[in-house]
Structure 1
């Protein structure tokens, strides 16, 4: 993790699970970012209590309201971050917010599919667009050529559940709309990597593993991976990425995930 040194990072869905774990790890770094922007739907609500406690102890942590399925909310969050950065760029955007519903194929509906796609796929698309100017600014202000997460990066939290080859943990749940949204997110990540490479922005899709979170635990099954182990691994992976890795889908150990 020593190789990952950034001035600013934004994490969506940061009030619990992997998002909260990422925020905690960034704050504990030997050289923590000057700005850690943590977004969630209701920053003052009970579900954001742990995040509020962290913010009271860390002046570099700023909680920002954000509903990733609402373009107006995304625009307002980007404007707030730009205002706080005061002319500096944003080094890393982590599209972590996501939803899943354990619904089988025969029970899927247009409403559910649309809701999950809007959050898991369209949200990262719109966030990438909204924060592109700040990411470009960070890339332009970083010395050296090539791509890295210390320069400017979009990190899309994906899942091997969206891998057409793997169809991860099908036996534990079909989760069809979730799988489709993550397969689409992987394609979005590839498109972002091609479109934003010339701007100096690295794009990567990460599979965090099957993690012990509210979303990961369902039907009485306990996932094998702790949040701490997943986040520690992912940050180590992010610190090692270079130009050759942009557009790829990797897991928390840095292994390539099949499409």
Structure 2
């Protein structure tokens, strides 16, 4: 097991929190990717200022506008990535963009359920579909027959909160729509792993931990894990994934989590 060796990676929701942390760590590798694609809704907005500051110092970082619930926006982003990577394709797609509304079972609404499911579950589905041609190119151009993140992979950032068996932190945050969307994302990951395996694409769901981000702190308590610690752990896990791990649900330390 060593550091990831990839030509290209795309991270959604990359303007802050875990997404921005992933981008920074990819750029800081000893052998960084030739292309790091960072997407967010409004790259020119105030909430993306930190990302723009990073981009100004890295020629291999391409910031792309992307609304993960909009098929037209997704197709445009895929086309732009394709212009950069050409025949080498895209090695790693990290579906990190997500949202949470901390509603209880009593005050959850159809509108919240629909909005959060569309962002957290439908978005990763559409992104997988749009980027599959580029992932297939990367897989075809990589040596060896096994699956790995260095070859071609879709990584969905999920949550232990979506575990039906554990219902993690229920006493502190119900967030019913969020939990349902992440449980559905886990099933999507399993489906993608079965559907994309023949194309040489590994698929896995990762729980990043309870992290000190705007989302992580929305529970009302200070999250125990820093962005840096979470991202370092996840990248170590990604570097170790192989064919036996496709379709699994893991945490940032590589522990298999219950569905």
Deviation at 1:2, TM superposition (A): 3.2
Other-structure match for 1:181 = 181
Other-structure match for 1:256 = 256
Task: Work out the CA distance in 2 between the residues paired with 1:87 and 1:143.
Answer: 15
Task: Work out the CA distance in 2 between the residues paired with 1:76 and 1:44.
Answer: 17
RMSD: 0.8
Deviation at 1:218, TM superposition (A): 2.0
Task: Work out the CA distance in 1 between the residues paired with 2:127 and 2:58.
Answer: 25
Q: Which runs of 5+ in 2 are unaligned?
A: none
Task: Work out the CA distance in 1 between the residues paired with 2:3 and 2:139.
Answer: 17
Task: Work out the CA distance in 2 between the residues paired with 1:219 and 1:198.
Answer: 40
Other-structure match for 2:137 = 137
Task: Work out the CA distance in 2 between the residues paired with 1:124 and 1:218.
Answer: 23
Alignment of 1:14-163 (within 5 A): 14-163=14-163
Deviation at 1:171, TM superposition (A): 1.0
Other-structure match for 2:166 = 166
Give the conservation status (yes or no) of the 8 Å contact 2:193–2:247: yes
- SS, match of residue 100 in structure 2: coil
Deviation at 1:3, TM superposition (A): 3.2
TM (norm. structure 2) is 0.99
Task: Work out the CA distance in 2 between the residues paired with 1:12 and 1:240.
Answer: 22
Deviation at 1:84, TM superposition (A): 1.4
Give the conservation status (yes or no) of the 8 Å contact 2:2–2:240: no
Task: Work out the CA distance in 2 between the residues paired with 1:189 and 1:227.
Answer: 23
Task: Work out the CA distance in 2 between the residues paired with 1:209 and 1:257.
Answer: 12
Other-structure match for 2:199 = 199
Q: Which runs of 5+ in 1 are unaligned?
A: none
TM (norm. structure 1) is 0.99
Deviation at 1:205, TM superposition (A): 0.1
- SS, match of residue 36 in structure 2: strand
Give the conservation status (yes or no) of the 8 Å contact 2:9–2:93: yes
Number of aligned positions between the proteins: 259
Task: Work out the CA distance in 2 between the residues paired with 1:184 and 1:107.
Answer: 21
- SS, match of residue 93 in structure 1: strand
Stretches of 4+ aligned residues off by more than 4 angstroms: none
